[in-house]
Amino acid sequence: MKFRVDRDVLAEAVTWAARGLPNRPPVPVLAGVLVEADPSGTLTLSAFDYETSAKITVPADVTEGGKVLVLGRLLADISKNLPARPIEVATEGNKVQLTCGSSRFSLLQMPSEDYPTLPVAPDPSGSIAGDLFTQAVAQVSVAADRSDTLPILTGVKVMIEGSTMTLLATDRYRLAMRELQWNPRHSDMSAVLLVPARTLAETAKALGASASVEIAIGDAAGGDGLVGFEAGQRRTTSRLLDGEYPKVTSIFPSKVETSAVLETASLVEAVKRVALVAERNTPVRLRFAESHVTIDAGAGEDAQASEAIECSLNGPDIEIAFNPQYLLDGLHAVGTQFSRMAFTQSSRPAVLSGQGQLDAEPDTSYRYVLMPVRFGS
């Protein structure tokens, strides 16, 4: 095998393929990236760990076709740090030689015959705008559980009915739900799937720069238990999580007693400052009254902080406490100039949504439900 490729092209391709490689693979070959050079002038890089797969095809000047398996992360690190000049790659015996200017690297080939076969590339079930896909996944995945206590909660539940797609995630302390429109191949399409949140977030971030992302679901993806994503020459698949996702939508309050509209940036900065004195697992308290909210943390002999900002209040005064990081996660995810917080009681979940202007209607396409924290009087 022998080919010549632009440094930036190779670095970007290897980084994409190797991004999901396991730190401690169950078998050594799963730490590798499969590099296949086609005499027609393309270079394909693939990675697979039995759960997720990634494949990307880029142009290259191929003198001699072939395929090799090399350590993925090592190849990515080398490619990114080489001079901004073309890279020449050639096999010599059981080694892969990389030459870029005066830089030379020699990598050991791994046994490519032991590498597992990647899942069959799925046929798309529909498409969605890349920027919309990235935003929606980021808004929801922030609420997914990051521990393995209840593996089912480490996923994002994706519900599809026709052209409406709903994403949902929760870790039992907060819940995020985003409703958006996509372009299904069949208008009567209906599906429910549970995608690992980490995989979905990384995929959305990597593919979001594309104008459109193709999504393959269920049988269209070559069988149940698999979902595929494709944009340009980048393709990836992921195994779905098994199990019954808890029926958590009932947590949304059926009525609102008090609502407050605040400037998102002002609230974020105030919470950040006040939370500096909040020890681990200590909440920040929000006291809504008239035209302002007072945010404070700390009590007794501990360090204390307090700050007040303006808000537009509708309903009776209310005092409520939240985990500051969970509150900040929701405020960052809203993505609008103003945020609307809706309450029933200080002991009941609050709902955070976005609002473009102070006197506009709230945008309920994204809702972030936050469980309050008990606090002393």
Is 375 within a domain? Answer: no
Is 121 within a domain? Answer: no
Q: What pLDDT is stored for residue 122 in this prediction?
A: 65
Residue where one domain finishes, among candidates 58, 86, 114 = 114
Classified as helix, coil or strand, 126 is strand
Residue where one domain finishes, among candidates 57, 86, 114 = 114
- Whichever domain contains 317, its CATH number is 3.10.150.10
Q: Are residues 95 and 33 in the same domain?
A: yes
Classified as helix, coil or strand, 264 is helix
Quote the CA–CA distance of 286 and 167 in Å, as a whole number: 29
Q: What pLDDT is stored for residue 376 in this prediction?
A: 60
Phi and psi at 3, nearest 5°, equal -155, 165
Residue where one domain finishes, among candidates 114, 137, 156 = 114
Q: Tell me the pLDDT of the chain (377 aa) as tens digits.
A: 999 999 999 999 999 999 888 888 889 999 999 999 999 999 999 999 888 999 999 999 999 999 999 999 999 999 999 999 999 999 999 999 999 999 999 999 999 999 999 887 668 899 999 999 999 999 999 999 998 788 999 999 999 999 999 999 999 999 999 999 999 999 999 999 999 999 999 999 888 878 899 999 865 444 468 899 999 899 999 999 988 898 888 888 888 999 999 999 999 999 999 999 988 778 999 999 989 999 999 877 778 999 999 999 999 999 999 999 999 999 999 999 999 999 999 999 999 999 988 888 888 999 999 999 987 64
Which bin fits 230, alpha (ψ -120 to 50), beta or left (φ > 0)? beta
Q: Are residues 37 and 106 in the same domain?
A: yes
Q: Are residues 163 and 269 in the same domain?
A: no
- Residue 45 structural domain: 2-114
Q: Are residues 217 and 317 in the same domain?
A: no
Q: Are 26 and 35 in contact (CB under 8 A)?
A: no
β-bridge mates for residue 353, sequence order = 340, 367
Is 14 within a domain? Answer: yes
Quote the CA–CA distance of 218 and 186 in Å, as a whole number: 14
Q: Are residues 23 and 76 in the same domain?
A: yes
Q: Are residues 242 and 266 in the same domain?
A: no
Q: What pLDDT is stored for residue 105 in this prediction?
A: 97
Tokens 């899942």 -> residue: 119
What is the count of structural domains for the chain?
A: 3
Q: Are residues 145 and 242 in the same domain?
A: yes
Is 197 within a domain? Answer: yes
Is 119 within a domain? Answer: no
Q: Are residues 131 and 232 in the same domain?
A: yes
Is 68 within a domain? Answer: yes
Q: Are residues 134 and 240 in the same domain?
A: yes
Q: Are residues 147 and 202 in the same domain?
A: yes
The pTM (predicted TM-score) of the whole model is 0.89
Q: What pLDDT is stored for residue 218 in this prediction?
A: 65
